[in-house]
Amino acid sequence: MRTIDQVIADLLGSWTIGEDPVWPIGNFVLCTIALLLSILLCGIIGIEREIRGRSAGLRTHLLVGVGSCIIMIISIYGFPYIPGYTRDVARLAAQVITGVGFLGAGAIIHRNSGTKGLTTAATIWIVMAIGLACGSMNFILAIGSTILIVVVLTFFRRVEAALVRKAPLIKVKAASDTPIATRILEIAAKSGCAIHDLQVDTVENNEVEAIFLATSNQHDFDPTEFIAKLEAVEGVVQVGFINSHKG
């Protein structure tokens, strides 16, 4: 069964001008549309990352998306057809997927407070896929995927924020002689919440830092009240939420 994209590619690819000689400009038109569409679609995702102040912003996403589109076009049109030999047009695309995976890994930062840059790494990977879709003339797929990704990056951010408020990631700094883990567990028991993934490390200025998740099944559980109780503990220097631990 033929797809809409295949019908569009066949119609545009059959365009010719002139009579003697005949110039088949259909492939040129298809490649131009693919490049312009990859700039538009990957630029939309890059602008969202730029607005959020991420290290990989508009230019990075444009370069990855357009570069992937160019490689896909080269894979399809860049090698001459030789009778008796079959071409694997997906071979270069497979190498792009591997290479961009390393690039996305460079956007991930791991610190004591958590891991940042996962979302940006994912968007770098997805603009690569959109670029490949444009370069392989799957325009409908590329447009639909971009709309879906924009919805995920905008609407689902609110959903994620609501989930984080119900299970906040909290960081507490205290003097080194403060039994901070014991105090956290005592206050959590009185507040009706559970503590998960508690990590206590020594930091500079002769202080300790505790990072943990606080969850509760009680509908009236207020994380800000829990924070206030922690701030009242003797020896505690700083308490706060870690909201953007994924990036």
Classify 230 as helix, strand or coil.
helix
Looking at residue 148, its pLDDT comes to 94
Give buried/exposed letters for 102-140 (b at 16+ CB in 10 A, else e).
Answer: ebbeebbeeeeebebbbbbbbbbbbbbbbbbbbbbbbbe
CA dihedral sign of residues 151, 152, 155, 157? negative
Domains in the chain (CATH in brackets) are 4-164 (no CATH), 167-241 (3.30.70.260)
d(CA 37, CA 31): 10
Helices (H), ranges, 83-138: 91-105, 118-135
Decide: 150 and 48 in contact? Cβ < 8 Å.
Answer: yes
Q: Residue 207: beta bridge partners?
A: 175, 203
Q: Which one is predicted more confidently, 138 or 161?
A: 138
The kind and range of the H/E element at 203 are strand 194-203
Distance CA 3, CA 17 (A): 26
Look up residue 203 and give its two tokens: 């930091």
The candidate with the shortest Cα–Cα distance to 193, out of 165, 172, 173, is 165
The DSSP bridge pattern shows strands 194-203 and 207-215 to be antiparallel
pLDDT digits (tens, 9 = 90+) for 114-127: 566 788 888 999 99
d(CA 129, CA 145): 9
| Residue found under tokens 């220097």 | 237
Of 170 and 114, the one with more pLDDT: 170
* pLDDT at residue 244, as a whole number: 46
Q: Which one has a higher pLDDT value, 20 or 30?
A: 30
- pLDDT value, residue 110: 58
Residue 243 has pLDDT above 60, yes or no: no
Average pLDDT, the chain: 83
Radius of gyration of the chain (CA): 26
pLDDT at 194: 85
pLDDT tens string 60-112:
899 999 999 999 999 888 877 777 777 777 888 888 888 887 777 777 765 55
pLDDT band at 1 (very low <50, low <70, confident <90, very high): low
